Chain A
Amino acid sequence: MQPAGSRKIELESLLAGRFDLPLGIREADESERLLVGLPELDGLTGGLERGALTEVFGAASSGRTTFALRALAEATARGEICAWVDTCDNLDPASAAAAGVDLDHLLWVRCGGDAERALASTDLLLQAGGFGMVVLDIAHLDGRAAWRIPLVAWFRLRRVIENTPAILLVLSRTPQARQCASAVLEMRPRGAAWSGGLLRETRLAAASRKPARPAEAFWRAQAIG
């Protein structure tokens, strides 16, 4: 008797191209990806996939926000309208401006620490269409509150974003979207560089957890002077 996993793969290969599998994740080609302009990370991820959910998780100071703002800067520089759904009201507009984000093209939704509001707002934004990137920031959400987000909410977001040119980027402390994310990146801090009594830069590491790749990317973020 064949194991269930191999039978599933066999079945999927038989049905490939004939049906849009309800739980399957479509592979995106080069043109459907947004390069964030950081060669180390673009080399690792191949860019952020459009029409899909990408999750970036990590501890405090691991570079999640820096990465998201850099991606927003790229998107807004292309004239795309983007949104930042801020569950715990953590966005610093000055940091966004310093990262090169065109604030005129950024919609900021402050949810006052309520994850339900953040999910509902994200859903509405994705359904409205026309957004190039929507960032859902639950990185500062209490761990228990984050785990209380039902899986069906992530499925819903994934279904809404499918077949749209939008990118849904989720920032979290631990992986939340599970199988609904088409890519999962883990960020880690690797130390900071100080000189002359000033914080100069931070050294960061990123690893692709989905698709799983053994290699890590090392990158740096300069402190704003």
Chain B
Amino acid sequence: MYAAIHAPGHAASLVACAHEFSPLVEETSPDTVVLDAGGLERLIGPPREIAGLIARAVEEAGIRANVAVASNCDAAVCAARGFAGVTVVPLKAEAKILAPLAVSILSPPAELAETLERWGIRTLGEVAALPDLGVAARLGEDGLRLLRLARGENQRPLAPAEAPAVYQESIELEHPLELLEPLLFLLARLTGELCARLTARGLAANELRLRLKLENQAEHAVTIRLPVPMRAPGTFRKLLQLELEGNPPQSPITIVTLAVEPADPRVVQRGLFVPQAPEPEKLELTLARIGAIVGRENVGAPELADTHRAGAFRLRRGLGPGRGAVKPEGARLALRRFRPPLAATVVEDNGRPARVQARGVRGVVLRSAGPWRTAGDWWRDTIWDRDEWDVALKDGALYLVCFDRRAGAWFVEGAYD
């Protein structure tokens, strides 16, 4: 069963009204929309009540429209275009009900309309009475289609338009909010509504955008990019809370707007024998909590920077899929870096370090290897130029010391451990 709504000049409003009754809505023309009313009988009642309810909803939106209900969408469209008010076209009675309507309702091609005019055919009833074979021979495929429409027999699937997808919710407050706690109540509501909307469409979110309009007319914006698409209102709320606790707005809040960026949900089928990994939602929350303790820039997966500068790295937020590193045979001596490097006093003997003294590092050098000269970035401010030495002190400790040739100073870079 299909319901058509016809009202010239209200295309967008008609679509919105139709979506209140069904997710399957076709914009047939700028002044007509058709919705799939199948199943509404069980919710609303017989076709007349369905048509009446749709008409009232349209009227409440301030639109005077014709509403028709029929067993196929084209018959419903014809009835809505041709009859004022509410029309119900019963099954098998389409031809009879549509018969008095003018041919122009069907908007036939100009050539076909002229031919019918010459033949003296002006109503759908007259078109429906024409013989099939004769119409096929004289008017071709267009004529036959017109014939089926006039008889109310045209069966075609609905071509529904996508509903306007808005994943944004906003609340304007009567009294400005000063505390975080009441704001969290509002965020709980907004995240719940947005997640319900995402769930209805089988989507998840990969970004949260919170905008807070402040009393001093400024705007406080928070954007949280999620490592994987999620649909967990509790996690969203907690992430926003941690972010706001770390970076609170500077003035009371008057308008709260929360938007999410929809994305396809992740589909993961983990193997039975694959080791357990942290749940992405839980991991994200944990990272946010740790970020609040140590600073967000201090948490992440390390990445080696593409440079020869010693100790260069980047921290990437979130973990990667795994690269399958090559495990060497036996153990490889690790370096513990001192950040920042320890300023040192080095006594030299024949150009080699003979004694090292720095905070927590002191001793006679028993053995040394070097110098290994490295330099780079001479075209930038971050230029480096230094000589590196591996030294063994009397207490058995091994250190990496370097002489910064630009600064003319010694540093202990780290300890081999």
Q: What residues make up the interface of A, taking CB atoms closer than 8 Å to B?
A: 37-38, 59-70, 73-74, 76-81, 89-112, 114, 117, 120-121, 124-125, 127-132, 139-140, 165, 189-192, 194, 197-199, 201-202, 219-224
Whether, in the assembled complex, B417 has its beta carbon less than 8 Å from a beta carbon of chain A, the answer is: yes
Taking a contact as CB atoms under 8 Å apart, the answer to whether B294 and A100 are in contact is no
Please, how many angstroms separate the alpha-carbon atoms of A223 and B397 in the complex? 14
Taking a contact as CB atoms under 8 Å apart, the answer to whether B290 and A191 are in contact is no
Whether, in the assembled complex, B83 has its beta carbon less than 8 Å from a beta carbon of chain A, the answer is: no
Taking a contact as CB atoms under 8 Å apart, the answer to whether A124 and B334 are in contact is no
Taking a contact as CB atoms under 8 Å apart, the answer to whether A130 and B320 are in contact is no
Please, how many angstroms separate the alpha-carbon atoms of A117 and B292 in the complex? 10
Q: Tell me if A's interface is mostly helix, strand, loop or mixed.
A: mixed
Please, how many angstroms separate the alpha-carbon atoms of A34 and B289 in the complex? 29
User: What's the minimum C-beta distance from A203 to chain B, rounded to whole angstroms?
Assistant: 10
Known: A61-B417, A102-B323, A104-B320. A95 touches B339 (CB 8 A): no
Known: A104-B319, A106-B302. A97 touches B331 (CB 8 A): no
Residue ID in chain A nearest B315 by CB atoms: A108
Known: A61-B415, A65-B334. A132 touches B275 (CB 8 A): yes
Taking a contact as CB atoms under 8 Å apart, the answer to whether A110 and B331 are in contact is no
Known: A59-B396, A97-B304, A129-B279. 14 other contacts (CB 8 A): A61-B416, A66-B331, A66-B334, A77-B327, A90-B339, A96-B334, A98-B328, A99-B331, A100-B326, A189-B396, A189-B398, A192-B392, A198-B369, A222-B331
Whether, in the assembled complex, B196 has its beta carbon less than 8 Å from a beta carbon of chain A, the answer is: no
Taking a contact as CB atoms under 8 Å apart, the answer to whether A77 and B294 are in contact is no
Known: A66-B334, A93-B313. A104 touches B299 (CB 8 A): no
Taking a contact as CB atoms under 8 Å apart, the answer to whether B302 and A59 are in contact is no
Taking a contact as CB atoms under 8 Å apart, the answer to whether B325 and A76 are in contact is yes
Taking a contact as CB atoms under 8 Å apart, the answer to whether A201 and B397 are in contact is no
User: What's the minimum C-beta distance from A7 to chain B, rounded to whole angstroms?
Assistant: 41
Taking a contact as CB atoms under 8 Å apart, the answer to whether B332 and A95 are in contact is yes
Taking a contact as CB atoms under 8 Å apart, the answer to whether A189 and B397 are in contact is yes
User: What's the minimum C-beta distance from B101 to chain A, rounded to whole angstroms?
Assistant: 67
**26 A–B contacts from the bound complex (CB under 8 Å):** A38-B331, A61-B398, A63-B417, A69-B332, A81-B277, A91-B337, A92-B336, A93-B302, A94-B313, A97-B304, A98-B328, A102-B322, A102-B324, A103-B325, A106-B319, A110-B294, A121-B290, A121-B293, A125-B290, A127-B286, A128-B282, A130-B277, A132-B275, A221-B333, A224-B332, A224-B335
**Set of chain A residues within 8 Å of B321, measured between Cβ atoms:** 104
Taking a contact as CB atoms under 8 Å apart, the answer to whether B337 and A108 are in contact is no
Taking a contact as CB atoms under 8 Å apart, the answer to whether B275 and A101 are in contact is no
Taking a contact as CB atoms under 8 Å apart, the answer to whether A202 and B416 are in contact is yes
Please, how many angstroms separate the alpha-carbon atoms of A206 and B393 in the complex? 21
Kindly state the interface size class of chain B when it binds its partner.
35 or more
Contact with A along B327-359 (1 / 0, CB 8 A): 110111111111100000000000000000000
Please, how many angstroms separate the alpha-carbon atoms of A34 and B42 in the complex? 62
Whether, in the assembled complex, B176 has its beta carbon less than 8 Å from a beta carbon of chain A, the answer is: no
Taking a contact as CB atoms under 8 Å apart, the answer to whether B398 and A192 are in contact is yes
**Set of chain B residues within 8 Å of A129, measured between Cβ atoms:** 276, 278-279, 282
Known: A102-B325, A121-B294, A130-B277. A107 touches B336 (CB 8 A): no
Taking a contact as CB atoms under 8 Å apart, the answer to whether B323 and A69 are in contact is no
**Set of chain B residues within 8 Å of A128, measured between Cβ atoms:** 278, 282-283, 285-286
Taking a contact as CB atoms under 8 Å apart, the answer to whether B304 and A93 are in contact is yes
Please, how many angstroms separate the alpha-carbon atoms of A167 and B274 in the complex? 17
Whether, in the assembled complex, B199 has its beta carbon less than 8 Å from a beta carbon of chain A, the answer is: no
Closest 4 CB pairs of A and B: A130-B278, A104-B320, A100-B327, A93-B302
Whether, in the assembled complex, B414 has its beta carbon less than 8 Å from a beta carbon of chain A, the answer is: yes
Taking a contact as CB atoms under 8 Å apart, the answer to whether A77 and B325 are in contact is yes
Taking a contact as CB atoms under 8 Å apart, the answer to whether B290 and A130 are in contact is no
Please, how many angstroms separate the alpha-carbon atoms of A110 and B293 in the complex? 10
User: What's the minimum C-beta distance from A42 to chain B, rounded to whole angstroms?
Assistant: 12
Please, how many angstroms separate the alpha-carbon atoms of A69 and B278 in the complex? 21
Whether, in the assembled complex, B19 has its beta carbon less than 8 Å from a beta carbon of chain A, the answer is: no
**Set of chain A residues within 8 Å of B327, measured between Cβ atoms:** 37, 73-74, 77, 100
Taking a contact as CB atoms under 8 Å apart, the answer to whether B290 and A62 are in contact is no
Please, how many angstroms separate the alpha-carbon atoms of A78 and B273 in the complex? 10
Known: A76-B325, A100-B325, A189-B397. A91 touches B332 (CB 8 A): no
User: What's the minimum C-beta distance from B400 to chain A, rounded to whole angstroms?
Assistant: 10
